[in-house]
Structures are given as structure tokens and as C-alpha cells.
Amino acid sequence: MPELPEVETMCRGIGDVIGQTIVSVATPRRTRRPSPISPPPRRLATELLGQRIEAIERVGKRAVLHLRPSRASASARLVIEPRMTGLLLRVPPPTEQHVRLIVEFQAGGPPLTFWDRRGLGTIRLLDAATFATRCGPPLIGPDALSLRGDWLYEAIHASQRSIKVALLDQRVTAGIGNIYAAEILFAAGVDPRSRCCRLSRAVCDSLARHCRRILQRAIRLEGSSIGDETYRTADNRPGRFQRCHQVYGQTDAACPRCGATIRRIVQAQRSTWFCPGCQRRR
Ligand SMILES: [Zn+2]
């Protein structure tokens, strides 16, 4: 599932569409599970025509295209959330069947394609005010790439839930999913089952520092392509950060730090991997 580093890589990979004007929008329906598109496809196409892409921004795990209308209507945001298997591509897609959106530009060149095998990703066109409500605080917390220990401590210190579950909560910090939560907790030596209220300010500082470092490194390596290799960059290459995973997906392997056996447990219906030898429960 694309998390912060993967979506950041997608946003950078489609950066050449900034400044381009949309001349064609298609939303093919070739699967039994069409992607959620709002407004409905025909109206989305009508509203996008003639708009210019002013900027691309990542908000948590979403790609946001800022649009400038040709007519005197309010400025809008096209919000694409890849969810499980969505990809933003500037090259031909892996399959034709799972293409969800094709946007073509006045200047020609390759289209911008949203491809999604499982069809759980969403495409939404929002006016600026609605965007601020749906994709801003309190629903979306501070970005994990600039997470600070004092913010984290403030957000979680009164909570009884486990730190792993809190790190996945996009209201606490935006962008972390299952892969990076496991890697951050390993790097900081914190057992994922530790209750938030037991974590000191110093532990929160350490978590925030490792969070920024791991996410920055994962962006440099263009994200993690794991398992079914669904995640690809905008030019259809796999990421390389999966080679750096220390615990994620490493059931029964030896911990690279202390040699103990890495365990898999389930928290809030999601797998978590950790080292019982060097991740201390608090
Ligand atoms: Zn260990």
C-alpha cells in the first residue's frame, strides 16, 4: 500500500505536468469494480477541461493537483488517493483493464494515467474550501516527514492505545502506514505494543527523529515495492527501499541488530513485525 515515501515519489515523478492545460479526460470502466470518482465521471471530465495544473502537493498519502480554471470559477484541487494498489503513471500502464483515469494535455506528450488493480483508490475534485475541511486538520495531522517529538507527545500522551496503532492514525501524523510504522519502532527500540501513555517525551523525540530519517531515506530510494510488486514509480520501475527493511515482513528471521528471532503479531487487524530482543515494552 503506498505510504508517504511512495506517494511522494509518485508526485515527483509526475512533476512535468505542472503548467500543462487539460484537453481530454477519460474514465474507462473496464472492471466490475469501478473506482470511486466524485463528482461522477462525466461531470468530472467537463469540470477538468481547460484547467491548468498549477502545482502538485502530497497531503499524507494523497496526491493533490492544484488547478487553475480557465473560466471565472473557483480554484479546485484534484485529490487522488492510491489506497491499496493505485499508481500515477507517465508511461503505458501494466494492464489496460485497470486504468481508471486518463488525462491528456494541450502540449501533447504522454497522458497522466491513474491505474488501480483493486479499484479501492479514490479520485475527488474538491473546491478549495472543501479540500481544507476534508484534507486538513483535525482529520489530517502534521506531515510525518516533519514530525516533531513535542507534537507527537502532545497528540498521544493521554492515550491508552498502543504506539503502533497511534502511528497509523492519520490524525496523529499523516503519511505513515504498516511498513514504515514497523521500521520506525524498530529503529527507536520501542515495542509496538507499548501504550502511548507510558512513552516519555524523550521516547517521542527518538520516534520522531527516526521517523524523519527513515522516510527521507525511503524517498531517496523511491519507496518500497513488496510482495506482489504492485507499487511502481511514475515511469513503472520498482522502488528500492524494500532492501533496507529491517523487520517488516521478516517473520522468523534473525534480528539484524541482536540476532533474536523477529516475531509477527496482529494489532488492529494489521500484521506487525518486531524484535523482542531489542524493542523494549514500556
Ligand atoms: Zn533485535
> Which CATH number characterizes residue 217's domain?
1.10.8.50
270 in the same domain as 150:
yes
Helices 201-220, 149-156: inter-axial angle, 10-degree rounding:
120
149 in the same domain as 130:
no
Contact 97, 30 (CB under 8 A): yes
Across 215-243, average pLDDT: 94
Residue 81 annotated in active site: no
The rounded distance, in Å, linking the Cα atoms of 207 and 25 is 43
150 in the same domain as 121:
no
Domain containing 158: what range?
144-274
234 in the same domain as 201:
yes
222 in the same domain as 172:
yes
Q: How far is the CA of 202 from the centre of ligand 1 (A)?
A: 21
Q: How far is the CA of 256 from the centre of ligand 1 (A)?
A: 7
Residue 3 annotated in active site: yes
219 in the same domain as 130:
no
- Structural domain count, the chain: 2
For residue 132, the tally of other CB atoms under 10 A from its CB is 12
186 in the same domain as 116:
no
- Tell me the pLDDT tens digit for each residue of 236-258: 999 999 999 999 999 999 999 99
What's the length of the chain?
282
Query: Residue 71: which pLDDT band, with cuts at 50, 70 and 90?
Result: low
Which residue out of 6, 8, 61, 164 is catalytically annotated? 61
Statement: residue 213 has pLDDT above 70? yes
* 139 belongs to a structural domain: no
Residue 62 annotated in active site: no
Query: Residue 261: which pLDDT band, with cuts at 50, 70 and 90?
Result: very high
* 280 belongs to a structural domain: no
231 in the same domain as 149:
yes
Statement: residue 3 has pLDDT above 60? yes
One-letter-per-residue 3-state SS of 194-228: CEHHHCCHHHHHHHHHHHHHHHHHHHHCCCCCCCC
- Tell me the pLDDT tens digit for each residue of 5-31: 999 999 999 999 999 999 999 999 877
